[in-house]
Amino acid sequence: MAIKRIQRGHCDLIRKAAQKALDEHFPKDLGLVIDVGNAKFTNANVTFKLEFAVTNADGVVMSKEATDFNRYAFMHPKNLEGGLGKKFRCTQHGELVLEGFAPKSRKFPYLFRVVKSGKMYKFSEDFAAVVTPVK
C-alpha cells in the first residue's frame, strides 16, 4: 500500500516500523537505548524525535527525566533517595517503578511506571512522599 497523503494514523504505523528497524539494525555493542518519540507531520512528510540514552550500572535507562531526577536529588522526599529504577508500593496502583523527575511540571513532577500495566503516570510530590519502597 503506497501512502499518497500522510495522516495521523500513518504516523503510528511509521513510528512502529522505524522503531523495529532501529532495534534490529542499530549496533548493540554501543549500549544505547533508542526511542522513536513524538511526530510532527504535514500531508507530505513526517518528522520524528529520536532519543538515544545510555544505561547506568543498575540497568536504568538514563532518559532526560532520569538525569533530572539525579540533578535535583536535594528536592526529593526522603523515601525516594536513591530510588531511580527501584520499586515502590502504593495502595491504589500496587507496585510502581520510579522512572524520573520533570522539574518543569510543577504539579505532577514525579514519573512512575506501573509494574502491572507498564503505563507511565505523573504524580505529585505529596503522592511521592507517601509511597513505600519495596524491599
Q: What is the pLDDT of residues 80-124, one digit of tens each?
A: 887 898 999 998 889 999 999 999 999 999 999 999 999 999 999
Distance separating alpha carbons of residues 39 and 49, to the nearest angstrom = 6
Nearest to 97 by CA among 131, 52, 49, 71: 131
Distance separating alpha carbons of residues 119 and 35, to the nearest angstrom = 16
Q: What is residue 86's three-state secondary structure?
A: coil
Rounded to two decimals, what is the model's pTM? 0.77
Nearest to 48 by CA among 3, 5, 4, 17: 17
Is 90 exceeded by the pLDDT of residue 66?
A: yes
Average pLDDT, integer, range 4-31: 94
Domain assignments of the chain as residue spans, ordered by start: 8-54, 64-133
Distance separating alpha carbons of residues 78 and 66, to the nearest angstrom = 17
